[in-house]
Amino acid sequence: MSRTVYVNGEYLPEEEAKVSVFDRGFLFADGVYEVTSVLGGKLIDFAGHAKRLKRSLDELQMANPVTEEELLEIHRQLVARNGIEEGLVYLQITRGAADRDFAFPKDATPTIVLFTQAKPGLADSPMAKTGMKVISIEDQRWGRRDIKTVQLLYPSMGKMMAKAAGCDDAWMVEDGAVTEGTSNNAYIVKGKTIVTRHLGTEILHGITRAAVLRFAREAQMTVEERPFTVDEAKAADEAFITSASAFVMPVVEIDGQAIGAGAPGPVTARLREIYLDEMRKAAV
């Protein structure tokens, strides 16, 4: 069945939704995006995603074509029109269409596109019980990873490298330390301490990360925001990742070596439970 998608003010069947071949998102990856999950037909942490979207747009001096209220209404309309109980809403804003030129155009109208992806069973993923396997790869992305841009080719290549190695994802490494996963933030647990890389331009400031660290601290867990190495990960008791689509997901192997018991650990399981419980309660 065809989805209803949103393009520049209109709700359209996906076959009829079009953007220009001159769109700078297409020509220059001159665009930003957000992914918000849907549980029980409601949006998880919409406010967090809206805030980061504004930051990404501001960092790129890109105009925002919609207010936060309009954005919420579009999200809700798409969830309702497509009957999404569990899944994702993808949002992309680009600088718009203009004759090809590296300089930003002065008068382009931003392009805004949103669509849904139904993911039945998203919160009850079998991987939460088995855990994921990751490989480490060199981080070859650009230097402003704190801006959520649509230039995702290297993360995509990383995912393919992981698949070729029989694994689920890749953790990227720069100057000897793990930055993040291809589309998620990375964590290790040693004893009672959760370690994850500090915020900066080297990683995306995950919306799930912010919530999980808040819940961890509220549950009296110790959190250290600092770089960690692959060797530290190999010697950790547990490891996990967070993202809007995976929530909190255990990592049980890195570069072929089991982490801890080689099975999802109690700290990860607890954080996943708290995160899902609290975020369902606060969903809009």
Which residues sit at the interface with ligand PDD, rule CB under 6 A? 35, 180, 183-185, 204, 206-209, 242-245
Burial of 153 (0-12, 13-18, 19+ CB in 10 A): exposed
CB of residue 50 to ligand PDD, shortest distance in Å: 12
CB of residue 147 to ligand PDD, shortest distance in Å: 11
Residue 4 has a CB neighbour count (10 Å cut-off) of 17
Our CB check for ligand PDD shows the closer of 56 and 183 to be 183
Residue 51 known to be catalytic: no
Our CB check for ligand PDD shows the closer of 82 and 184 to be 184
Which residues make Cβ contacts (< 8 Å) with residue 61, sequence separation at least 6? 104
CB of residue 134 to ligand PDD, shortest distance in Å: 14
Which residues make Cβ contacts (< 8 Å) with residue 151, sequence separation at least 6? 29, 142
Sign of CA dihedral 71, 201, 196, 119: positive
Our CB check for ligand PDD shows the closer of 87 and 97 to be 87
Q: What is the CA radius of gyration of the chain?
A: 19
Best CA proximity match to 275, nearest among 211, 189, 198, 227: 211
CB of residue 33 to ligand PDD, shortest distance in Å: 7
Our CB check for ligand PDD shows the closer of 98 and 213 to be 213
Instruction: Determine which one of 148, 159, 234, 281 is catalytic.
Output: 148
Give the residue numbers marked as catalytic. 148
